[in-house]
Amino acid sequence: MFSTGSMIAGLAAAVLGASGGPALDWERFRPYVEGFNRNDRETVVNAIDNASAWEWMKANIPFFECPEKEIEEIYYFRWWTYRKHIRQTPDGFVVTEFLPDVPWAKKYNTIDCPAGHHFREGRWIREPRYLDDYSPFWFRKGGDPLQYSFWAADSIYQRYLVTGGRDLTCGLLDDLVQNYGEWEKKHLLESGIFWQIDSHEGGEFSIGGNGCRPMINAYMYGDAGAIARIAALAGQEKTAREFRDKARRLKRLVQEKLWDKEARFFKTLRAEGTGGDYGNTAETDCKPGDLVDVREIFGYVPWYFHLPDRGKGYESAWKQLFDRQGFYAPYGPISAERRHRKFMSPHAHECLWNGPSWPFSTSQTLTALANLLSDYPQKVMAKKDYLELLHTYTRSHRLRLPDGSILPWIDENLHPDTGEWLARSILHKAGRPDRDRGKDYNHSTFCDLVITGLAGLRPRPDDIVEVNPLVPAGTWDYFCLDGIPYHGSTLTVLYDRTGGRYRRGKGLRVFAGSREIAASPKLGRGRGKLERP
């Protein structure tokens, strides 16, 4: 187990010194962690045990306060579960998906399928060693970045946008280029578009099945763009031009080939030679060259990477998000539209993507929605829709015990209408020895959604701090995100309608340390500039 004492104390002191004193009394949030510990059966211990959880969190995470205590509680719960997955190995730190070892995992129980989520969430942790080690692990120390679809380059670059750590990012450029080339060798068709088996994207038994899927193509577009930016950062303009061209070509092909003009949605395209699966190709009656006849939640992933062109009508796809025959559900969004005849069709397997709700895709959808609201001129979605979907996602983080008590919980997949954790229930009913494998499952984000969406800190490569909170005007009287590590500074983003709660002025305020760098009397987009030494 990792020794937390002196390092954590040093980090905490550094945070308080850099910020000139926090806006929040962080000790007020300790009872959340004490409650999580009290209700936990700690069966797997990695680098940071439960007893050290509060001191670790105090030293490492941004603190958050808002009027909705359920969102606040789950924010701390997800940091509490994330640190459980930080594992110290002979090759440095890694981050796991499952706490217990599972047979399909690779070295040190790592699985690349959710690793992009690990980077998005973990980039806000103050201690850099965890992801400093985890980044090269995938390419140099035995990780397998080809096991599942994995947006590796984009993940590395998104972390750079928070830390400003140029040396590590540029030092991985050759690895990222080589990794992209391996995906091209194995999954690029002559048409210029990528294919994938659904289960190799973590999407077992999807209705759409195998083919040229929106996920793999969006991932590869995101990676091409990230490699181009990293290459430019490293002064390798030839590589930057090459990957900008790859990204432009893939953007055009995705919009030409995967957009269903009638259904107004990005879909899977059937193609010859796209591998076997679990027998789910019969779920849709289409032949090679056809788009499948189902809308699936993966169709929103292109916005995760800003792939769709602005002003071309692609935003109409978002009308399906809250359609009761589309993706809406009390514990949604669902993985396949409800109106399809194969929605929630029975299978013997516990991991189904034919209707259940998965935190994996919910967090992708929320990130994509935040991008749409922040970066696209459109009238289909509004800030209230982001908050509504975050409410749904927050409500999903519960487990009802036989005695009627309810615990904060994260697991694999949910019944979209009841909130029952499906895989867990199926495994328990079957008496499987791995029935509790999904406890504290690390296969999604939540904290990053609060930081970049709700509080609206939009990471950038320059010295400009940009915030665009997605809290609808008139909804909350206050919120505060405090102690945010960003580009070597410590930020505070707060909103105080009256100015009486935090006593740092009315409205939206952004501080770098003790210096106010942006202010507005209303909730909205704001920008300030960091001072460089």
Average of per-residue pLDDT values in the chain: 94
Half-sphere exposure of 484 (CA within 13 A, CB side): 27
Name the region of 210 (left: φ>0; alpha: ψ -120 to 50; beta: rest). beta
Q: 3-state SS of 397-410? A: CEEECCCCCEEECC
Helix axes 237-253, 173-187, angle to 10 degrees: 30
- DSSP states of 48-66 as a string? S-GGGHHHHHHHHS-EEE-
Contacts of 90 (CB under 8 A, 6+ apart): none
Q: Which residues contact 58 (CB under 8 A, 6 or more apart)?
A: 8, 12, 26
Pick the range with the lowest mean pLDDT from 4-18, 59-73, 174-188, 467-481.
4-18
Task: Read off the pLDDT of residues 126-139 as tens digits, 9 standing for 90 and up.
Answer: 999 999 999 999 99
Average pLDDT rounded to a whole number, residues 342-371: 96
Whether pLDDT at 347 is above 60: yes
How far apart, in whole angstroms, are the C-alpha atoms of residue 452 and residue 64?
12
The secondary structure element, H or E, covering residue 412 is none
Q: For residue 497, is pLDDT > 80?
A: yes
pLDDT > 70 in the chain, percent: 93
β-bridge pairing 86-89 and 92-95: antiparallel
Q: State percent of the chain over pLDDT 90.
A: 91
Per-residue pLDDT, averaged over 422-438, amounts to 95
Residue 4 has pLDDT above 80, yes or no: no
- To which residue do tokens 């509490």 refer? 80
Residue 300: what pLDDT? 98
Q: Helix (H, G, I), strand (E, B), or coil: what is residue 517? A: strand
Please give the structure tokens belonging to residue 318. Answer: 């978002």
The pLDDT score that the predictor gives to residue 274 is: 61
Q: List, in order, residues 6 or more apart from 437 with CB less than 8 Å away.
A: 98, 99, 100, 102, 427
For residue 15, the model assigns a pLDDT of 52
Question: Contact at 8 Å (CB) between 71 and 394?
Answer: yes
pLDDT greater than 80 at residue 16: no
Query: Residue 280: is its pLDDT beyond 80?
Result: no
Q: What is the pLDDT of residue 533?
A: 64
Handedness of CA 266, 421, 45, 12 (dihedral sign): positive
Q: Within a 13 Å sphere around the CA of 457, how many CA atoms are in the beta-carbon half?
A: 32
pLDDT at 282 over 50: no
Q: What is the distance between the alpha carbons of residues 503 and 515, in angstroms, rounded to a whole number?
A: 14
**pLDDT 10s digits, 396-410:** 999 999 999 999 999
Three-state DSSP at 190 gives: coil
DSSP assignment of 485-500 equals EETTEEEEEEEESSST
The residue count for the chain:
533
State CA 319 to chain mean position distance.
22
Q: Please compute the mean of the pLDDT values over residues 319-333 and round it to a whole number.
A: 98
Whether residue 237 has pLDDT greater than 90: yes
Least confident window among 5-14, 15-24, 327-336, 446-455: 5-14
Question: How far lies 472's CA from each of 82, 455, 526, in Å?
Answer: 29, 11, 15
Give 3-state DSSP helix, strand, coil % of the chain, rounded to 5. 40, 15, 45
pLDDT band at 447 (very low <50, low <70, confident <90, very high): very high
Q: Mean pLDDT over residues 411-434, rounded?
A: 96
Kindly state the average pLDDT of the residues 104-126: 98
**262-276 pLDDT, tens digit each:** 999 999 999 866 654
Backbone angles phi, psi at 483, to 5 degrees: 75, 40
Adjacent-strand bridge partners of 212? 269
pLDDT at 12 over 90: no
Mean pLDDT of 92-104: 98
Phi, psi angles (nearest 5°) of residue 162: -90, -45
> What is the sign of the dihedral through the CA atoms of 96, 99, 104 and 106?
positive
Mean pLDDT in residue range 493-501? 97
Cross-strand pairs, 74: none
Among the listed residues 402, 393, 336, the one whose alpha carbon sits nearest the alpha carbon of residue 363:
393
**Residue 524 confidence (pLDDT) above 90:** yes
Is the pTM higher than 0.85? The answer reads yes
CA proximity to 145, closest of 122, 177, 192, 190: 177
For 221-241, what is the mean pLDDT? 98
How confident is residue 8, by pLDDT bands cut at 50, 70 and 90?
low
Task: Dig out the tokens for 394 from the structure.
Answer: 């927050």
Q: How large is the angle between the packed helices 115-122 and 359-375, nearest 10 degrees?
A: 60
* 530 has a pLDDT exceeding 50: yes
105-454, which class in CATH?
A: mainly alpha
Domain ranges in the chain? Answer: 105-454, 478-529
Quote the CA–CA distance of 156 and 206 in Å, as a whole number: 29
